[in-house]
């Protein structure tokens, strides 16, 4: 009976100690650290790189007898990754044949093109996810030209004599080459020689100088020539303004009417200068000038 009583007293004494261990922590005490499992690291495929040149199309170009097979790209990034998975030579097979979305072409003799297979990836929350395979072709071939049949070797005979030369021959009696009748490239036309002048009549000769009477109304005709043949004047413009009266400062087929009412200083000669454009060469400017000597007495029409 005493032994049971002692065991009960010991159990009652341990209850406060157990309660003390299960209490809430005080404010100045740090909460217990709960260990967390390490995150699973992404598996990066070997040789992976960020794409900066994106596939556009397969290119086949022929120059003379050579055909080149290449791949066109554009310098941009779509946020994808890639790696080389196989490089193959001309005609060699690959485990990735038939898996590329753009296929693998062949030469004209049926052999598969040389090039490189790439595998494309996108980065997701779960890691690098493969999305496609592309083949970058890099090959060329040269067609052989058809060989001309070789002429049979001539058999010599003791009594053989040289045949006479038919057709033109050179000084030593040998036949001259047959002239070629291939069409010649067109010869570019030679630009005509243009010049301009001033005449006192619609069909009159051009003059470098003229004497006129003071007060007389004179008509000046700008003229233009191509290889010394008269051509139509597209437009003209008067660059000097010494006359006392002019009918206009610009024109086309009509002449310029001018009149001098005063005499120049002794020894001074006036001139009319024109800027002329023709129908033959509308963009080429021609200059023409005529020197004027005013004589007296004045004649007023």
Token pair in block for residue 9: 């007293």
Supply the pLDDT for residue 64: 86
pLDDT band at 170 (very low <50, low <70, confident <90, very high): low
SS (H, E, C) the chain: CHHHHHHHHHHHHHHHHHHHHCCCCCCCCCCCCCCCCCCCCCCCCCCCEECCEEEEEEEEEEECCEEEEEEEEEECCCCCEEEEEEEECCCCCCCCCCCCCCCCCECCCCCECCEEEEEEEEEECCEEEEEEEEEEECEEEECCCCCCCCCCCCCCCCCCCCCCCCCCECCCCCECCCCCCCCCCCCCCCCCCEEEEEECCCCCCECCEEEEECCCCEEEEEEEEECCEEECEEEEEECCCCCCEECCCEECCCCEEEECCCCCCCCCCEEEEEEEEECCCCCCCEEEEEEEEEECCCCCC
Token pair in block for residue 182: 């291939």
pLDDT band at 219 (very low <50, low <70, confident <90, very high): very high
Q: What percent of the chain has pLDDT over 70?
A: 69
Supply the pLDDT for residue 63: 86
* CA 246/CA 260 separation, integer angstroms: 9
282 in Cβ contact with 190 (< 8 Å): no
pLDDT tops 70 at residue 168: no
Asked if the bond preceding 13 is cis, omega within 30° of 0, the reply is: no
pLDDT tops 90 at residue 160: no
pLDDT tops 90 at residue 241: no
Would you tell me which CATH number, out of the four given (3.90.1300.10, 2.60.40.10, 1.20.1180.10, 2.40.280.10), belongs to the domain 194-295?
2.60.40.10
pLDDT tens string 117-136: 999 999 998 889 999 999 99
Burial (CB < 10 A; 0-12, 13-18, 19+), residue 233, is: buried
Does the global pTM surpass 0.75?
A: no
pLDDT tens string 131-155: 999 999 999 999 876 544 455 655 5
* CA 69/CA 77 separation, integer angstroms: 24
Supply the pLDDT for residue 118: 96
pLDDT band at 268 (very low <50, low <70, confident <90, very high): confident
pLDDT tens string 57-91: 999 998 888 999 999 998 888 889 999 999 999 99
| Residue extents of the structural domains in the chain | 49-142, 194-295
């Amino acid at each position: 009976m005493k032994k049971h009583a002692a065991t009960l007293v010991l159990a009652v004494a341990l209850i406060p100690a157990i309660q003390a261990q299960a209490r809430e922590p005080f404010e100045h005490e740090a909460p217990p650290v709960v260990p967390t499992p390490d995150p699973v690291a992404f598996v990066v495929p070997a040789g992976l790189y960020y794409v900066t040149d994106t596939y556009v199309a397969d290119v086949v170009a022929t120059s003379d007898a050579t055909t080149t097979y290449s791949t066109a790209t554009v310098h941009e990034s779509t946020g994808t990754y890639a790696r080389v998975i196989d490089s193959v030579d001309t005609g060699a097979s690959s485990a990735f044949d038939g898996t590329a979305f753009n296929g693998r072409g062949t030469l004209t003799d049926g052999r598969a093109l040389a090039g490189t297979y790439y595998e494309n990836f996108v980065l997701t929350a779960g890691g690098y996810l493969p999305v496609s395979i592309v083949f970058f072709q890099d090959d060329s071939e040269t067609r052989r030209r058809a060989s001309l049949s070789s002429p049979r070797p001539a058999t010599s005979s003791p009594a053989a004599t040289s045949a006479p030369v038919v057709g033109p021959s050179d000084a030593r009696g040998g036949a001259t080459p047959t002239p070629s009748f291939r069409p010649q490239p067109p010869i570019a036309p030679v630009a005509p020689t243009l010049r301009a002048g001033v005449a006192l009549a619609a069909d009159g000769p051009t003059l470098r100088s003229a004497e006129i009477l003071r007060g007389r109304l004179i008509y000046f005709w700008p003229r233009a020539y191509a290889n010394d043949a008269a051509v139509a004047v597209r437009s003209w413009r008067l660059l000097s303004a010494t006359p006392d009266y002019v009918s206009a400062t610009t024109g086309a087929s009509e002449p310029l009417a001018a009149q001098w009412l005063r005499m120049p200083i002794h020894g001074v000669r006036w001139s009319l200068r024109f800027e002329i454009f023709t129908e033959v060469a509308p963009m080429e400017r021609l200059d023409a000038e005529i020197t004027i000597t005013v004589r007296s007495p004045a004649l007023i029409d």
